[in-house]
Amino acid sequence: MVPRGATVLELLFDIVYVFALARLAGRVADDLTIVRHNLLSEAGQTLLFFTAMWMIWSLNALMTSIYDPRRADIQVVLLAVMFGTLVLAVSLPQAFGERGVIFAVTYVVIQVGRPLYLTLALRRQAEWRQPARVLCWHVVSGVLWIGGGASGGLGRGIFWTAALAIEVLGSALSWPAFRLGTTRQGYTRVGYDHLAERYNQFFMIALAEVVLEAGAAISFPGLSPKRTLVLVAAFVAVVAFWRVYFYHVGSGQQQSSGSSGVGLRLSHWSSFSLLLIVGGVICTAVGLGQVVEDPEPPIDWALVVVIFGGPALFLIGRAYLEQPAGRARCPAVYLGLLALGVVAPVMLMLPPFAAAVAASTILAGVAVLDWRVHRHGPQTNPPL
């Protein structure tokens, strides 16, 4: 039986992702400053790396929500994936350069090795088909990952994009395989309480990036009126993210008897929703960090897109993280998206600190409106 709460080893696994997300945030910051002449291609590479790292984490979280993470063999798999993820994070800055082979081989070993081990371990049980389906898809994508690592330049990007597209498609379709069906048939074994807690923990890791980026950016130049204003805006954004994520339960969900709240009712697309949520938080962290470093005008379209696009991604992801229950989805997030879209173009005519303040104000407004809609619901963090 899968434990209700996450194990200590799973929390240790997430520590590696603190480092990995910091490296990804650093790439986004570099895209906005150092490599502005090649912004679109660099942003595409960063998105590819972020999605690849997310595929590893999400499949790992699913594994520990199906199989008991207290088992010795599952713990060995967790430790192996944790070390491999550390190698990927270290290789990430030069993955499109001299470390491409290391990155590709490590990624394939993780994504093929995990389902291969589970398939062999469960070969005498009916459940062996579930990891076998995942294995089939990753063997195909693994050929492209290795091919991209062996090539260079544009070819590497094409190979790796195709490989990742195969994996995302496989996940969206529940990993169908010839004569093996789809893994959706085995989802009744998933410990959704455990999986929801793992999602919450990963979100909190991403949320810490906002504090780290803003705090690190202001530490060297020191406080000034405008930098202090942006730091306050970053804090408001963190509180709004927290409030909307944990308290925005699906409309129509009723508080159960004897419970202080309701937990997440994850949708079939919850993995992709959390991808948007975490990506939005990281973009917001980088955007606010850039403004803290230089709050003076001018501002350009790329920074505006990051500052306002981050909250937009978060709100879209949060809207579809859960299954709707009974009534239409809460309008708060959609009103927030509308406000972000209307205000963002105006910010091109104002200094950067104004954009940071405007984005955090809209997020705070969404949080307040969401509170008014759900104020008769749970008064504490939803238990899992």
Rounded-to-integer distance, Cα 244 and Cα 232, Å: 18
CB atoms within 10 A of CB 225: 8
Q: Which two tokens stand for residue 225?
A: 């009126």
* Confidence class for position 79, pLDDT limits 50, 70, 90: very high
Rounded-to-integer distance, Cα 363 and Cα 225, Å: 22
Residue 313 has pLDDT above 60, yes or no: yes
Q: Which two tokens stand for residue 154?
A: 């544009």
Q: Which two tokens stand for residue 152?
A: 């260079």
Residue 166 has pLDDT above 70, yes or no: yes
Q: What confidence score (pLDDT) does residue 383 get?
A: 44
Q: Is 130 exposed, middle or buried (0-12, 13-18, 19+ CB in 10 A)?
A: buried
Q: Please give the average per-residue pLDDT across 5-25, as a whole number.
A: 89
What is the value of pTM for the model shown? 0.88
Domain final residue, candidates 142, 158, 189: 189
Number of residues written out for the chain: 384
Q: Please give the average per-residue pLDDT across 112-132, as a whole number.
A: 86
Rounded-to-integer distance, Cα 276 and Cα 266, Å: 15
Count helices and strands in the chain by DSSP H and E runs: 12, 0
Flag whether 341 is in a domain: yes
Flag whether 285 is in a domain: yes
Q: What confidence score (pLDDT) does residue 258 get?
A: 34
Rounded-to-integer distance, Cα 18 and Cα 57, Å: 12
CB atoms within 10 A of CB 185: 12
Residues 6+ apart with CB under 8 A from 153: none
Rounded-to-integer distance, Cα 234 and Cα 116, Å: 43
Residue 142 shares a structural domain with residue 107: yes
- Report which DSSP code applies to 185: G
Rounded-to-integer distance, Cα 269 and Cα 291, Å: 33
Residue 48 shares a structural domain with residue 168: yes
Residue 41 shares a structural domain with residue 114: yes
Residue 204 shares a structural domain with residue 64: no
Rounded-to-integer distance, Cα 322 and Cα 198, Å: 15
The string over 204-223, giving b where at least 16 C-beta atoms fall within 10 Å of a residue's C-beta and e elsewhere, is ebbbbbbebbbeebbeeeee
Q: What confidence score (pLDDT) does residue 40 get?
A: 73
Domain containing 256: what range? 192-373
255-287: pLDDT as tens digits = 433 333 345 667 677 889 999 999 999 999 999
Q: What confidence score (pLDDT) does residue 153 get?
A: 79
Flag whether 1 is in a domain: no
As for how many domains the chain has, the answer is 2
* Confidence class for position 379, pLDDT limits 50, 70, 90: very low
Flag whether 383 is in a domain: no
Residue 257 shares a structural domain with residue 172: no
48-61: pLDDT as tens digits = 999 999 999 999 99
Contact (CB, 8 A) for 283 and 212: no
Q: Please give the average per-residue pLDDT across 286-293, as a whole number.
A: 90
Flag whether 138 is in a domain: yes
Residue 114 has pLDDT above 90, yes or no: yes
Residue 76 has pLDDT above 80, yes or no: yes
171-211: pLDDT as tens digits = 988 888 877 766 555 455 788 888 888 999 999 999 998 98
Residues 6+ apart with CB under 8 A from 170: 134, 137, 141, 176
* C-alpha dihedral sign at 217, 221, 223, 228: negative
* Confidence class for position 3, pLDDT limits 50, 70, 90: low
Residue 134 has pLDDT above 80, yes or no: yes
Q: Is 359 exposed, middle or buried (0-12, 13-18, 19+ CB in 10 A)?
A: buried
Q: Read off φ and ψ for residue 98, nearest 5 degrees.
A: -75, -15
Q: What confidence score (pLDDT) does residue 331 get?
A: 83
Residue 96 shares a structural domain with residue 235: no
Contact (CB, 8 A) for 263 and 311: no
Residue 124 shares a structural domain with residue 145: yes
Rounded-to-integer distance, Cα 285 and Cα 207, Å: 8
> How wide is the angle at C-alpha 204 spanned by C-alphas 199 and 206, nearest 5°?
95
Report the amino acid identity of residue 293: E
Residue 222 shares a structural domain with residue 304: yes
Instruction: Look over the chain and give the mean of its residue pLDDT values, rounded to a whole number.
Output: 85
Q: Please give the average per-residue pLDDT across 293-309, as a whole number.
A: 87
Tell me which range, 265-274, 359-368, 373-382, is most confidently predicted by mean pLDDT. 359-368
323-348: pLDDT as tens digits = 665 455 678 889 999 999 999 999 99
Q: Which two tokens stand for residue 178?
A: 């010839």
Flag whether 137 is in a domain: yes
Higher confidence at residue 82 or residue 1? 82
Contact (CB, 8 A) for 241 and 281: yes
